[in-house]
Every structure is written in C-alpha cells, then in structure tokens.
Amino acid sequence: MTSPMDDPTTLAAPPVPARRPEILTRADGTALVDEWYWLRDRDDPDVLTYLEAENQWTDHVLAPLRPLQDVIYEEIRTRIQESDASVPVLVPRREDLTEADGPYVYYQRVVAGQQYPIRARRRVPDGVRDVGDLSASLRRAVDPQLPPADEQILLDENAEAADSAYFRLGAFAVSPDQRLVAEAVDTTGGEIYRIRIRDLATGRLLDDVIERAATSVAWHDDGSALLYTVPDDAWRPHQVRRHVLGTDAADDQLLLAEDDERFWLGLGRTRSGRYIAIGASSKVTSHWWLIEADDPSSDPVTVVDRRTGVEVDLDHRGDKLYLVTNADGAVDFKLCTVPVDEPGAEPHELVAHRPGIRLEGADVFADHLVLSERTQARTQLRICAIETGIGEVLPTADEVSTTGMGPNPIFVTSTLRYVYTSMVHPTEIVDHDLQTGERLVVKQQHVPGGHDPADYVTWRQWAEAPDGTQVPISLVKRADDAVAAERPAPCLLYGYGSYEISVDPTFSVSRLSLLDRGVVFAIAHVRGGGEMGRSWYEQGRLASKPHTFTDFIACARHLIDSGVTSADRLAMRGGSAGGLLIGAVLNLRGDLFAGAVAEVPFVDVVTTMSDASIPLTVIEYDEWGNPSDSGVCQVMRSYSPYDNVAPGRRPAMLVTAGLNDPRVQYWEPAKWVAKLRDTSTGGGPVLLKTELGAGHGGRSGRYDAWKDEAEVLAFVVNAIGAGDSAGIDAQPPS
C-alpha cells in the first residue's frame, strides 16, 4: 500500500532557489561558503516569493492527507470543551479602599466559535479575604455560555483582534485598587508590545499609550503609576521605566538600564504586596532590586548583587527576604533568608542543599511555605512550616505525572491551589485546605464525548546513553494495544533538551488522536533539560551539548531494541531548540526514523551565534558558548544541523517557520530545507511551511492552532503508517 506522499506525481521537488554563494567569516575566523545566505534579506522580493512557493508546494504535497487532517481536526475540536471558563482567582479588597473597589474574582471564558478569551470579573461578598471564605460555587468556573448576571466583562479579545490577523495579549495587569488595567498587545507575532490603559468601570481606554514594551508590567499601590520593561533592537528587555498616568510616555522616567548584553530585565510585585521586585538575569547570574510599591517616587535599591555563576530567585515576608539560590556550591539550590533591611548580611539557611532534589521555587505566604521540587524526573510540592522549612510532600496518584503550583496571589491564606495532571489524567485544579487537609477539586478538565484514564496506560523506561548515563523516557499508549504483540507499534518520540526546561508528562487532548490510532507517544527527557536536576542541564550545554543528541538517539534505539517500535514506524518531533535536536539527530542517525517534524528549528547555530546583531545572540552565549573561541566553535560545528547536512536519504520531514519570529529567524529553517532538499538522494519529501503573519508560536487563534496541530498529526500518522488503526483511509486507491 502506498502513501499519498509516495505518489511520484507529488515527489518532484520545487525549483531550488537560485544560488548566490556568500563567503562568511565565522566568529573564530574560519570561512564558510553559504549558498542560501541570501534568504536572510527579508526586503528582497525574491525571498517572499520563495517562501510563498514553498508554502504552495507543501499544500500540494499534503493535499492527499487533507481528509485525514479534517478528521483529526474534528476529533480535537469535539474533545475540547469549546465553551469553557477558567477557575476564578480571588483578588481581595485592600483595607484603605471603598466597597466599590472589590473584592472580586477574576477569570477568563471562551465561547464556541470564537478564537480568543473574554476576560471578566465578579464581585464577591464584602469581607471575603481568603479563597476558603468563598462558597464552592464561587470557587468553581462559571457557565461560559450563560454567564452570571453580575459578570463584568473587562476585555473581549475577539473584538480587539477583529482587525488583526494576529493578536496576542502579553500582559493584563490589574492595578492594586482594581480600577485600571494595563494591557500589552502584539499584533504581528514579533513580540514587541504596545501598552494601553483601560478604565475598568467604563471600559474606556485612557490616552496613555506606550508604543514599545516587553511583557513585564507592575503597578504602584495607588494606581497613579506603573513600571514596565523596554526591549532594545536585539529584542532584549534592557530598561525599566516608570509611567505616570496622564503624562506623555516619551517623558517616562528611566529607572534602570542594563548595558551588559548577557542580561535581560523583568519585574513584578511580591506576593506580600510591599515591593516591586526588578531582576536582571543572564543564563547563570542574577541581580535584584526592590522598589517600595506604595511610593511612586521611590528608586530601586539593590538587595542581591551579581556574582558570576550565582543564581537567585527572590520573595518577601515580614522583615525577611527569601532567596532560592545555588550559592556556595548548592548545585540543586537551597533556600536562605536575609533581613530585608540588611540584604548583605550572612544568609540564614532555611532549607539546605539536598543533592538529587532540585529546588525549583519557594512560594512564601504569611503562615506557610511551599517548595516546588524535582527528583528522578518527577515533580512534587512540599508544604513546609514557615519558620523551620520542614514539611511533607503532597501525595499524588500517578508516578509518571506532573504537580505544580496554581495561581495563589493571596499572601494571608489557608488554602493552596495546585494543578495535577498526567499523560492519562486530564488536568485538575485543586484547592487544598492547609489546616484540615481537605481537597476541593475546583476544576476538572472535561473531555466531551468521554474520557476514561483506564483506557490508557503510562509508564517510564530508561535508555542507556553511550557514556552509561540512564536517560528517562515517559510513555503513554492505549491500554488495549499490547506493545509489540504482533508487530512493533507506530511511535512518536518528542524531545527538547535545552535551557534547563523540563518537558513534563501532561495530558493532551490532541494526543488522543495518535493514541487511538495505536501510536505510542514517548518523551525523551534528554540532558540539557532540567528533568533530573541542575547537573542534568549542565551535562547538556556548552561543550557538553552533544549529549543532548546522543541521549535522544539512545532513547530511539531503546524503543526499537525493546520492541516498542521499529525504525520504519518511528517519528520524532521538536520545536525551537528542540528543532535543533531534530536536525542534529537527523544528521547523526536519520536512518532510525520514518518521519520528522521540526517546528521553528534553531538549525544554523554557528552563523547565528557569530552574529551579535541577531536578537538574543549575546544572551545565548551562556547556553551555547561564544564561537569566537575556536574550541567552542569546533563543538558547535560538530553538531550544527545546517553545517553538517550531507547527501543522503531523508525521512519524511515537515519544517515550520514564522516570518516575524524574533527567537529563531525564519531564514534558518528556510536555508536548512533548501540544503536538505538539494542534497537528498531519496526518501522524503522535505517540506517547509512558513507562517507569513506570525512569529515563534504560530498563529494566535485557538481554532487556527488546532488546525495546524491536526496538519502535523496527519503528517505523522501517515509517515509512521498508523492511519489504518482508526479505519480512516488516508491512502490513495491501489
């Protein structure tokens, strides 16, 4: 039986772009001839013509899969509760405000047929100070189609997005007096935001407009002024400014300017409400300032100075600052306190460094402390006494699962809101009473049509890397599909492996369309991520980066050798830095895969990291290294996908890009695909799809996103021969 993409009428590649070789000098002084360098010039009309031609070619090749794509899209759509609402979040009224200023619960709801959320709030009984004071009905989501009569719509994103092909709300910061909101809006996908101020009582936009900002916004207590960050030309938030309402944004006060190109700025209010905290962070170093939230004329005061290699996260309670830090050799981090008025004093160790238990965060409340921890590729929450740091781990149902903090803005509270999910268990949001231990599930993700977790099984396996390291793999499949009972199963292996970002096992509605076709879904928790602690990250960055790729190959080999799947039934998928993973593995062991999806892939590593004018390059030196060092450049050249393309057969490949993407420039995947296709000796096809009106995250509307996901899944299903499992004939007549 043939695949639609094996039809010889569809395999003739589109014309290769006319070559205009460019001789480049890398940062280490070595030369490179780049035949597709001209694709970097977005002002060249031939570039857009080429990208449009590639889109047309992709549409042509995938046309036989449209029926399958449409079926999968309908499966996704009908399994998602199209009209839905988030759990209300209580924001209590401050003592000095009038009754008209709250308290309120804030939430979002979406309505069937609409692309974007509606943001709203409801008044709650006066005197409510804690989540536990709310009735169960007020703690649970409203009926999104029949909203309560007392609902106040604050922002209908659908109306705001009506005239824009792309719309993204980067910040929605309500002032402490709950009378105003600062909205940061992006209408291109370029992640440069425009801040505007809305009066929540009338819905009217004020005259105040900040034309260029990032997404960090924080109000002073009285609502008379707000702080925000400003990106430079390299898309790095490098300034903090204060805007006083009613004044021209051109006159906004510059509070901080970060000149070191390795650092970026962010800000937010502490949960206690006393301070606005400003952080400057590189990949490995932190610097913190505090500003008095009740004084709109106050200046930043340094409380944590930068020490190279020392990272700090900060919170506040009473007369103390709480610091999660890796100082003094605490590889997996520890928790210390220092006096807020004497931040340079000797820290008091509240929670000592525990090798093998990565302390990822500490949420500080008036009367308790919650630690977010990770160990052996598992997440957990530990509820501790605030004075001693001693506590117990919150129990969960499944070992291969994910538990994390929910929204908990209230400082004085006896209720903890957390989130639990696994690859078989839809997400649930739980209010945990810290005094009685009682649990109230305030929202359980609903899967229309029914979903029984018992129909699926999730488990963990371990692959052995070439250096003997054991690499965890999280897997899920239908319980009634015995792995390798008659033949190896079709399988999709997902990976990322950079920035200490962990790909945790969570529930996915769209993934059900794979599982119900007999596909095994697996996550390779490779080095470079954070699944196994800080050392796991360190073993997959800088000179150790190749471990990321050999780990992924080891996971693929393990799945094949153990009979879970076979090379002709295995596909791989990754995006951004995970797209780098896909590209590097393709060069090393592309023969292990029948299909590959690389979304907005970072594949031209050496050239990009040699060009400091490209957004994020200098910031990224701590992750990838500076190629001006010949040794660093040699390591980069050893794995950079674009630099290592060689003639050979390709698995079926779908590659995506975003024309307005500031994180991975569109030309990286475009150049890579041109080179792959030009050197291909068979297999394939190799397809490129560029979103011409979006950025790194693809199209912004939820229905558009579902359609894009259905296209990817149809491609994967076809590549690994899983379509027949659901009785869907995605193949042409014999």
39: CB partners within 8 A, 6+ apart: 17, 47, 50, 667, 670, 671, 674
**By the 8 A CB rule, do 484 and 563 touch?**
yes
Amino acid at 633: C
75/83 Cα distance (integer angstroms): 16
From 28, 332, 431, 661, active-site residue: 661
152/174 Cα distance (integer angstroms): 14
Q: Which residues pair with 256 in a beta bridge?
A: 240
73/137 Cα distance (integer angstroms): 33
Q: What are phi and psi of 576, to 5 degrees?
A: 60, -120
334/353 Cα distance (integer angstroms): 5
Residue 228's SS3 state is strand
117/137 Cα distance (integer angstroms): 21
Calculate the CA 496 to chain-centre distance: 11
Residue 129's SS3 state is coil
DSSP summary character for residue 666? T
415/401 Cα distance (integer angstroms): 22
- The DSSP-derived string for 14-38 is PPPPPP--EEEE-TTS-EEEETTGG
Query: Is beta strand 652-658 parallel, antiparallel or unpaired with respect to 595-599?
Result: parallel
- Max CA separation in the chain (angstroms): 79
- Looking at 174-295, list the stretches that DSSP marks H as alpha helix, in order from N- to C-terminal side: none
From 576, 610, 700, 725, active-site residue: 576
Task: Tell me whether the omega of the peptide bond preceding residue 103 falls within 30 degrees of 0, making it cis.
Answer: yes
197: CB partners within 8 A, 6+ apart: 180, 181, 182, 183, 205, 206, 208, 245
Give Cα separations from 223 to 173, 177, 242, 268, 544 (angstroms).
Answer: 11, 7, 12, 15, 48
The verdict on whether 6 is a catalytic residue reads no
Nearest to 347 by CA among 378, 377, 312, 395: 312
Give Cα separations from 595 to 356, 507, 525, 592 (angstroms).
Answer: 36, 23, 20, 9
Nearest to 451 by CA among 426, 482, 477: 426
Give Cα separations from 547 to 355, 489, 560, 626 (angstroms).
Answer: 22, 27, 20, 19
59: CB partners within 8 A, 6+ apart: none
The verdict on whether 59 is a catalytic residue reads no
Q: What are phi and psi of 549, to 5 degrees?
A: -80, -40
From 451, 640, 696, 725, active-site residue: 696
**By the 8 A CB rule, do 659 and 602 touch?**
no
Q: Is the dihedral of CA 392, 396, 402, 403 positive or negative?
A: negative
Nearest to 189 by CA among 672, 663, 609: 663
The verdict on whether 525 is a catalytic residue reads no
Nearest to 373 by CA among 385, 364, 383, 382: 382
Amino acid at 91: V
CA angle 378, 383, 386 (to 5 degrees): 140
Q: Active-site residues: which are they?
A: 576, 661, 696
